[in-house]
Copies of this chain bind each other. A is one copy, B any other.
Amino acid sequence: METQTFDALLQNKTQEIEKIIRSYLPAEEGRQKTVLQAMNYSVLAGGKRLRPMLMLETYRMCGGRGREIEPFLAAIEMIHTYSLVHDDLPAMDNDEYRRGRETTWKVYGETMGILAGDGLLNYAFETALRAFEIADGTDPGMLLRIAGALSVLAQKAGVHGMIGGQTADIEAEAGEIPVTAEQLRFIHEHKTGALIVASMKIGAVLAGASEEQIRLLERCAEDIGMAFQIQDDILDVIGDSSELGKTVGSDEQNHKQTYVTLYGLEEAKRTVEELSQEAVEQYLKNVGCDHEFLERLILTLIDRRK
């Protein structure tokens, strides 16, 4: 695929996803208007919509053509967003800016920041459940696929997924436990990796992929998640702060253990390369579907400068 063709396709697909996400946001009305505004402010703060993109492309690659996927695209972005909203709170990372905008608690206050996060997490499930309204209610196979996709979402977002990683990360930062290679791997796999695995797995499950295909795509997503996170650590050392929109070198300043501090820059770069290769060659290509766009997307996401 030509770079130009890929870029144009990516732009179109991002717009398609943006439109779907917006169509599932709640109306800002009623006596609870403030929390609804804070929720929408958070979701509309931008971002690459990486998770819904991976979900939709996996779904289509596996032959999915229905609209049951749409509420899940919005739901995964709501969960990703709520995790950032709570992460930024004064009692957590105490961040006042994200992507060049004031964080939710900074604009709406700490109390509303907590409630907006709770609201988004809850609304993600409310939204994903709407897939049952879209589906053919007489087809138990489809109903079970939606039930399966909901379970993946809940498990990967929860205490055995993202929240588990967040807990381990916070205890590591507080110096309450030593940051070994295993601990760092656990944090990456759970805090960042879990939602990326959820995205691709939900796409595959909803499209009715075989168990073997689902297994391959899960491994693929695990590699992507890890490579993506290590690339983040690398960019914190060598990135251009104007492109990144955040301070470079913040990990070192905060004495934060990362893949780079543990293994060094060259080894980190080599690992990213190995993981991307494995994700595509060993897993994605063996799913047995047209993987051209997804392959390109994965390599672009990992080999990024911001």
Interface residues of A (CB under 8 A from B): 26, 30-32, 34-36, 39, 82, 86, 89-92, 110-115, 117-119, 121-123, 125-126, 129, 132, 137-140, 143-144, 146-147, 150-151, 154-155, 157-160, 163-168, 170-171, 183, 186, 190
Contacts and interface: CB of A to CB of B under 8 A. Distances in A.
B154 A111 contact: no
B163 A118 contact: yes
A163 B35 contact: yes
Given A32-B163, A143-B144, A170 B126 contact: no
Given A91-B111, A147-B129, A170-B111, A118 B119 contact: no
Among A26, A123, A183, the most chain B Cβ lie within 10 Å of the Cβ of A123
Given A138-B140, A143-B147, A163-B115, A154 B122 contact: yes
A221 B298 CA distance: 51
A45 to B, nearest CB: 18
A32 to B, nearest CB: 4
8 closest A-B pairs by beta carbon, nearest first, are A32-B164, A126-B154, A91-B110, A122-B158, A35-B167, A132-B147, A32-B167, A143-B143
B139 A151 contact: no
Given A121-B121, A122-B157, A115 B167 contact: yes
Contacts of A168: 31-32
B89 A114 contact: yes
Contacts of A150: 125, 129, 150
A155 to B, nearest CB: 6
A195 to B, nearest CB: 12
B114 A92 contact: yes
A159 B111 contact: no
A151 B26 CA distance: 16
Contacts of A125: 125, 150, 154
Given A151-B132, A159-B32, A186-B31, A92 B111 contact: yes
Contacts of A157: 122
28 contacts: A26-B159, A31-B164, A31-B183, A32-B160, A32-B165, A32-B167, A34-B171, A82-B118, A86-B114, A90-B91, A92-B111, A115-B163, A119-B158, A119-B159, A122-B154, A123-B158, A125-B154, A126-B151, A126-B158, A129-B147, A129-B150, A132-B144, A132-B151, A138-B140, A139-B140, A140-B140, A140-B143, A143-B143
A288 to B, nearest CB: 27
